[in-house]
Amino acid sequence: MTNYITDEIQNSAIKALERLVAQPSFNTEAEPNAPFGKGIRLALDEIIKIADELGFRTYEDPEGYYGYAEIGEGDEIFGLICHVDVVPAGDLSAWDTNPFELVQKDGSLFGRGTQDDKGPTIASLFTVKALLDQGYTFNKRIRFIFGTDEEILWRGMDKYNQKESGIDMGIAPDAEFPLVYAEKGLQQSYLIGPGTDKLELDLMNAFNAVPGLANYNGPKLDKVESALKNHGFEYERNTDGLTVQGNSVHAMNAPEGTNAVLRLAIALADVFDGVEALEFIKQFGEDATGSNILGEIKDDVSGQLTFNISSLQINEKESRMQIDMRIPVKVEHDDLIKTIEEKVAPFGLRYEDFDYLEPLYVPKDSELVNTLMSSYAKITGDTKSQPGISGGATFARTMKNSVAFGAMLTTTPDFMHQANENWPLKDMRTAMEIYAEALYQLLIK
């Protein structure tokens, strides 16, 4: 294995990561020049300081939406698209260490953001520093773009794209090796229809998760229980009514889960006649590809559509469903939406947009993908893993000719968004070597 990374460089990276993890940069109430809260602005300030100290030319948006650091000369820009915000720590009692203090133990670096995405951001930044220290020069400008709102609505990158020049090619170090060359389009929306006085439901969940539980304590409880039994759906009856049980997974993997909201709604449709939202779900069924309503929608690159109904509200005023769709990269978005509008209309439902992220697709035979894959294989010796597709979303899709590339190895335990988030030191070192080889092949050789 090529050795670009020294102990000194890795130790310097760890010290910088310690500074960045110390900033609790999760989304909070907006403040002046801190649109996503003070913690995120402080993290943006800190990464800019670190890049300054390494000799990069830096810029920080005065409003606090983004920053960047670049080095090298030329008209072409190679981008590394990162983010400094994190999800909240959650239940602190579930952590063995302070989530906002970098702690080395058991061969790993513990702290919120060590995997997503502060660790990879620092690792890739110090990889460039390692190459510079060894006397290499780059044939393009290298620009690190620091986003601030990746975990919520990507408003920082929207602002960057409004105000700054794009890049010619790039990577987002915010996923898993070897790389992701296709990310499905992400559409989150509502289906809204008439209300009813027959029952009331308030089953609210996150857009991007298949709901694992659904509670009901309304009219005709015994009949609803009988309907659940008839369908063979798992449930519990207690003093609070009925709790339908499912299996919660991320919405991008919706067909692998069991949707408790759908199961409850299917049972309710057997008991309550004439409720349009329930009739729609009864026809929709449990097929999270949406094929029972829309027909089969797929392509030869990224597979089938996923269609997750995560929430259901019904009251006298209206019925409302939240839906999360992961759209195959070759499917025309506007045609799909038109089809949905046509198919839901007979149920008295109308379609309402909430948020849309365009897909990512860089062909597997492109120079970028081929070079990154060969660099990964050279460092790891893994010649069997193939570039992948994902229903998830990274900042790679905000730029042209960009893919998600690392920084987690296929063997790295996934602690993203979890308590005790940590990154093994040996995996960090390997990731830095992979990045160094890739940058050498793309920008130096």
Q: DSSP 3-state assignment of 38?
A: helix
Q: Of 255, 233, 265, 237, whose CA–CA distance to 246 is shortest?
A: 233
pLDDT at 2: 64
* Full-model pTM: 0.84
What are the chain's domains? Answer: 7-184+360-443 (3.40.630.10), 189-357 (3.30.70.360)
Q: How far apart are CA 235 and CA 216, in angstroms?
A: 11
The strand pair at 201-203 and 306-314 is best described as antiparallel
β-bridge partners, 298: 304
Report d(CA 239, CA 166) in Å as an integer.
58
Calculated CA dihedral for residues 89, 93, 94, 99, nearest 10 degrees: 40
Here the tokens at position 191 are 């289906």
What whole-number distance in Å separates Cα of residue 367 and Cα of residue 182?
15
Q: What is the pLDDT along the chain (445 residues), one digit of tens a residue?
A: 568 999 999 999 999 999 999 999 999 999 999 999 999 999 999 999 999 999 999 999 999 999 999 999 999 999 999 999 999 998 899 999 999 999 999 999 999 999 999 999 999 999 999 999 999 999 999 999 999 999 988 999 999 999 998 999 999 999 999 999 999 999 999 999 999 999 999 999 888 889 999 999 999 999 999 999 999 999 999 999 999 999 998 898 999 999 999 999 999 999 999 999 999 999 999 999 999 999 999 999 999 999 999 999 999 999 999 999 999 999 999 999 999 999 999 999 999 999 999 999 999 999 999 999 999 999 999 999 999 998 888 999 999 999 999 999 999 999 998 899 999 999 999 999 999 999 999 999 7
Residues 6+ apart with CB under 8 A from 309: 259, 261, 262, 281, 284, 321, 322, 323
User: Can you read off the two tokens belonging to residue 281?
Assistant: 């779900």
Specify burial of residue 310 (Cβ count, 10 A radius: 0-12, 13-18, 19+).
buried
How does DSSP classify residue 382?
A: -
The residue among 110, 116, 84, 85 whose CA lies nearest residue 98 is: 110
Per-residue pLDDT, 23? 97
Rounded Cα–Cα distance for residues 128 and 440 (Å):
10
pLDDT, position 153? 87
Predicted local distance difference test score (pLDDT) of residue 208? 86
